Structure 1
Amino acid sequence: MIRVPVLSPKGKPLMPAKASRVRRWLKTGKAKVVHDDLGIFQVQLVKPPSGEETQKIVAGVDPGKLFTGIAVQSTKATLFLAHLNLPFENVTKRMTQRAMMRRGRRGRRINRNLPYDQRNHRQHRFDNRKGHKIPPSIRANKQLALKVIQELSRIYPFWDVVVEVIKARGDKSFSPAMVGQYWQIEQLEQAGYAVHTQEGWYTSTLRQYLGLPKAKNKAEESPAAHAVDGICLAASQFMRYRQIKGKSGTWLGSIKVTPCQFAVINRPPVCRRQLHLMIPVKGKGRRKYGGTVTCHGFRKGDYVKAVKAGVTHYGYVSGDTKSQVSVSDAHWKRVGRFTAKKVQLLQRNTGLVSTVGLSNLTASNGKV
């Protein structure tokens, strides 16, 4: 049975309730539907509840280079699963492009007809070689996962987070998945979470014991790709392995893996404003490129409702023309162009684009 997040009248997260009970609350007017930045279906009680006691809930984070899996788990049910498409490749490409554009502007600024000592070579103002800096692509990956965890903790009552750490021999900076993992743990601790670490081999062993499937295609947007490891990471706080002398050992504790809400989360791939293009045009003004503001009052990434030929579409603002607004789906594929007057704003850009569905992920062992 799927659990639905429940908030108190003051916005405090309570224990999730079964979908059947939530339907009765909505039918009798005891609760109302509210929205968040992740697009998760949740309700808020109209009157104060009889009690606000909560059970232990743990979040598991399986970080990677291109994808991250997140799960919210209790002993009785799986509450939420997420598959994060990380911006690593996009940020890397844009940083390379920015360096090329800066190099080109420096070359155009210098008058090479002058002697070298009279040219406009600006000396460095400070020492920017600090060292121990997090690369922008890695920082963007970790910040996206941190933002999702913070949004989830506003609707699920948890403060325990289990993060998988990678250990390897040799140079510790060879893997983007390893770089910044302890910086991410530090950021979570500064945000007030109780962070626990776990190595990958332990996660794999626990996943095999629970009988959870694992997809071979890591780019597959399904719970079996990465979110399943998040379940095992969270389950490590409810289960532990006990070695018996002369025997193979056994697992103590139990959890129950159940269907739940599953979200595929991305960052909106919005191009920033570029005042200087890669190839400048001589004799003409600079054409507009990038930016988040449109000429119709919308911002790129806004969630809108658009009507065309009597058909209603829901999506995100991705561009504009003089009289129309471009609307795209969660994968940033354009649904169509709509007249600006027939586009209605539903939610401002939150920096997240998500598709929420239901997962049918269950353990083959049932209740362990």
Structure 2
Amino acid sequence: MGGIPRETDAGISPVTIGQEWFRAEASKLAPLKEIDSLDTGKYRTQLGLVKDKKDKSKQVPETHANDAIALASTAFIQYKEFHTAKIHGHHWVGECSVTKAPFIVVTRPKLFRRKLYQENYSKGGILKRQGGTITPFGFRSGDYVQTSRKSEIIRGWVGGFTNSEKTKNISIYDHNWSRIGQFNPKNIKLIKRSTKLCVVN
């Protein structure tokens, strides 16, 4: 991304690039205060927050949000040095209470651009269609929909369809764009038209 300094392209994660972009954009709205990340653990412990260091792929506050909350708390509490006639050390000054808040995961649907057919032939020498936005069932790729399987309510995003003489179904995906399953269009209800984002809280 232009304007972001880096030593090499190797070892730079998309998250790091995103953080730098956010700092640059946020600084246009208000002054930024940099906090030494080495102190994050102290603030996290003081607030009773837990960090999951084992699996960064988990989309939970313990992995992606608690460090940010700990850093934000430095505006209200500080671990300061003190001296008296007899003793010296450090203590906490100020107050900060952590309350519940929504944790939202935002991703992009992995939709194919319009392409009439796949490049490889399937059985019988047939080229299968690929891509496109509109389905023949009134739904669009990326639409947020609801259906059911047995007694389970399923919600997800439209990501493809089959429309042949024998089979008519719509593929529904979760926010990570893993296919949940294929369902009869007659049993699918539209919740929200595509916004080109998958939002889960």
With normalisation by structure 2, the TM-score equals 0.70
Choose from 51, 56, 70 the match for 1:214. 51
Equivalent in the alignment of 2:39: 202
Whether 1:266 aligns to 2:135 is no
Equivalent in the alignment of 2:190: 345
Q: Which has the higher contact order (CA 8 A, sep 6+)?
A: 1
Distance 2:141 2:58 in 1: 27
- Gap regions ≥5 residues in structure 1: 1-131, 136-169, 357-368
Equivalent in the alignment of 1:251: 92
Distance 2:38 2:3 in 1: 26
CA contact (8 A) 2:117 2:128 kept: no
Equivalent in the alignment of 1:242: 80
Equivalent in the alignment of 1:321: 162
CA contact (8 A) 1:239 1:252 kept: yes
Distance 1:324 1:172 in 2: 47
Distance 2:144 2:40 in 1: 37
CA contact (8 A) 1:263 1:354 kept: yes
Distance 2:150 2:44 in 1: 49
Cα 1:289/1:193, change in 2 over 3 Å: farther
User: CA-atom RMSD, angstroms?
Assistant: 3.6
Distance 2:3 2:135 in 1: 33
Q: What does the per-residue CA deviation read over 1:289-328, in whole Å, with 9 as the maximum and x for residues that have no partner?
A: 2343323232222111225678653222121111321223
Give the deviation of 1:133 after TM superposition: 2.3
Distance 1:223 1:294 in 2: 36
Equivalent in the alignment of 1:31: none
Give the deviation of 1:232 after TM superposition: 0.5
User: How much identity, in percent, do the aligned residues show?
Assistant: 30
Choose from 46, 62, 76 the match for 1:224. 62
**Local SS of the residue matching 1:184:** helix
Cα 1:196/1:347, change in 2 over 3 Å: farther
CA contact (8 A) 1:203 1:232 kept: yes
Equivalent in the alignment of 1:40: none
Output the amino acid matched with 1:243: E
Distance 2:144 2:81 in 1: 52
Equivalent in the alignment of 1:299: 140
Output the amino acid matched with 1:133: G
Equivalent in the alignment of 1:330: 175
Output the amino acid matched with 2:145: V
Output the amino acid matched with 1:335: I
Q: What does the per-residue CA deviation read over 1:83-136, in whole Å, with 9 as the maximum and x for residues that have no partner?
A: xxxxxxxxxxxxxxxxxxxxxxxxxxxxxxxxxxxxxxxxxxxxxxxxx7269x
Q: What does the per-residue CA deviation read over 1:18-60, in whole Å, with 9 as the maximum and x for residues that have no partner?
A: xxxxxxxxxxxxxxxxxxxxxxxxxxxxxxxxxxxxxxxxxxx
Aligned ranges 1:1-368 → 2 under 5 Å: 133=2, 171=7, 174-176=11-13, 177-179=15-17, 181-190=19-28, 192-217=29-54, 218-245=56-83, 247-274=88-115, 288-307=129-148, 312-322=153-163, 323-356=168-201
Structure 1 stretch displaced more, 244-253 or 228-237: 244-253
CA contact (8 A) 2:114 2:131 kept: yes
**Local SS of the residue matching 2:66:** helix
CA contact (8 A) 1:134 1:180 kept: no
Q: What does the per-residue CA deviation read over 1:180-217, in whole Å, with 9 as the maximum and x for residues that have no partner?
A: 64432222344x35544333213223113333222122
**Local SS of the residue matching 1:243:** strand
**Local SS of the residue matching 2:103:** strand
Cα 1:250/1:296, change in 2 over 3 Å: same
Cα 1:263/1:181, change in 2 over 3 Å: closer
**Local SS of the residue matching 1:244:** strand
